[in-house]
Amino acid sequence: MKKVVFHIDEMKNWSLTLGNVKNLITFYEHHDEVFQIVVVANGEAVKGYGKEDTQENIAKEILALFAKGISFHACQNALRAQQLEAVDLLEHIVIVEAGVADIVALQEKGFTYIKP
């Protein structure tokens, strides 16, 4: 099984990151690969998980990717810094205590790290 963690920490990188995720899914599906992909957001990028995000396309893309089995994690420290709470986020977002610690734990489980 291919295991990949994408790291995003800036709002301006959402389009690039989600594009990379979609391209990787297409590649893996074309080659009949089994895969697990997690997107971890920290810093200002956690705002991309917001229900009230002004960039509606981010929310639509996240929900479409979630339907394909992609997991999305949000750093609790970053949420606090951005004054966001769980109720402010899209459904299915997993809140982790610390984004960087989550990335380390995923890498220890064999996930390949990508930061577009």
- CATH number of 104's domain: 3.40.1260.10
CA distance 80 to 18: 24
% the chain with pLDDT above 90: 91
Question: How do residues 50-84 score in pLDDT, each as one tens digit?
Answer: 987 556 689 899 999 999 999 999 999 999 999 99
User: 49: domain range?
Assistant: 2-114
SS3 content of the chain, % helix, strand, coil (to 5): 50, 25, 25
Q: What is the pLDDT of residue 57?
A: 82
The CA-based angle 47-40-66, given to 5 degrees, is 85
Distance separating the N- and C-terminal Cα atoms of the chain: 22
Section 13-22 average pLDDT: 97
Number of structural domains in the chain:
1
CA distance 93 to 89: 7
Section 12-22 average pLDDT: 97
Q: What is the pLDDT of residue 52?
A: 72
pLDDT score of 25 more than 60: yes
pLDDT score of 35 more than 90: yes
In eight-state DSSP terms, residue 54 is S
Contact 40, 99 (CB under 8 A): yes
What is the pLDDT confidence band of residue 100, given thresholds at 50, 70 and 90? very high
Q: What is the pLDDT of residue 22?
A: 98
